Amino acid sequence: MKIEVAQHCGFCTGVKNAVQLAQNSLKKQENVAVLGDLVHNKVVMDELKDNGLVFVDSLDNVGDMPLLLRAHGTDVNLIHTAKEMGLNIIDATCPLVREIHKHARELEEEGRQVIIIGDRDHDEVIGIVSRLQDSCIIESPDDIDSCKLKQRTGVVIQSTQRIENVQNILPLLLTRSRDCRIINTICEPTRRNQTEILSLAQNNDCVLVIGDSASANSKRLYEVARSLNENAFMVAGQEEINVAWLKGCTSIGITAGASTPRKLIEEIVTYIKTLNGDTIK
């Protein structure tokens, strides 16, 4: 069986930097706090926890530990409060997310109402909204009617959005806004992954997307793969692979979300190689 691994898969640059920053900080101090998951992947989180990363649910529980801010950005009000409390902040916000903050503020300075295409409960979107005076979140075309659009608008997009969703929303926005400036802020790693998954799903009998169920971008890759190939599956690890999925397949495409570590991808590739000669006929 041919195994095709996507050229770009696993940790994106933002997640890689955040994990490295956490690991380096933990070499200098015993414990570092983070609000919520640093990475949406249990394997990575468990390893960091073992090395001293502490997951807290409120600033009040940070104590005297340094506070690590996650790659996808943080509510600016929370950062102000943390500074007022005198906390030592280690900022792992991805430079590409900072770019979105910058673009959104520029649009607002131009006198535009800022529209954010993204998931309203996602930390990245919460972080963008917190930096603006007047904004509106659109998750899907259904949200447009409930958003009171002004004549001058500006659009930024959550870095990990599916391009198809954006393509469905933009024409509707353009019919309702006379002066609309759109900045495509889907990040380069996401665009690459979304392009590669198309050929991976079309050129192989079966597709495996490796990612945690908490990882939104892994789920998006899976949705795209599944829409093109009914033999597409998402697994968090090797133990979730059902050998029956691969029966009769002559080729398998493998990709992974931005929070999946390289070692997990390698483990699964090795496992599939062992199945090839034995179990699969």
Q: Which residues bind ligand SF4 (CB under 6 A)?
A: 12-15, 71-72, 94, 96-97, 159-160, 187, 189-190, 258
Catalytic residue, candidates 99, 124, 139, 223: 124
User: Closest CB to ligand SF4 among 105 and 150?
Assistant: 105
The terminus-to-terminus CA distance of the chain in angstroms comes to 10
The minimum distance between CB 216 and ligand SF4, in angstroms, equals 10
CA–CA gap between residue 164 and residue 184 (Å, rounded): 13
Task: Catalogue the E-assigned strands of the chain.
Answer: 2-5, 32-35, 53-56, 67-69, 89-91, 113-117, 135-138, 152-157, 179-182, 206-210, 232-235, 251-256
Q: Is 34 left (phi over 0), alpha (psi -120 to 50) or beta?
A: beta
User: Closest CB to ligand SF4 among 31 and 184?
Assistant: 184
109 is catalytic: no
The minimum distance between CB 231 and ligand SF4, in angstroms, equals 27
User: Closest CB to ligand SF4 among 150 and 192?
Assistant: 192
Q: What angle do CA 95, 159, 139 make, to 5 degrees?
A: 145
The minimum distance between CB 80 and ligand SF4, in angstroms, equals 22
CA–CA gap between residue 175 and residue 149 (Å, rounded): 11
Cβ within 8 Å of residue 198, ≥6 positions away:
224, 228
The minimum distance between CB 45 and ligand SF4, in angstroms, equals 16
User: Closest CB to ligand SF4 among 252 and 258?
Assistant: 258
CA–CA gap between residue 245 and residue 62 (Å, rounded): 45
User: Closest CB to ligand SF4 among 204 and 218?
Assistant: 218
**Beta bridge mates, 180:** 153
The minimum distance between CB 194 and ligand SF4, in angstroms, equals 11
Structure tokens at 19: 């994990």
Q: Which residues are catalytic?
A: 124
